[in-house]
Amino acid sequence: QVQLVESGGGLVQAGGSLRLSCAASGRTFSTMAWFRQAPRKEREFVAFIRWIGGDTYYADSVKGRFTISNDRAKNTLFLQMNSLKPEDTAVYYCAASPPKYGISYSVAARYDYWGQGTQVTVSS
Interior/surface letters 48-80, b for 16+ CB within 10 angstroms, e for the rest: bbbbeeeebbbbeebeeebbbebeeeebbbbbe
Tens-level pLDDT at each residue, the chain (124 residues): 899 999 999 999 999 999 999 999 998 888 999 999 999 999 999 999 998 888 999 999 999 999 999 998 999 999 999 999 999 999 999 999 988 888 999 999 999 999 999 999 999 9
Asked if 58 contacts 72 with a C-beta cutoff of 8 angstroms, the reply is no
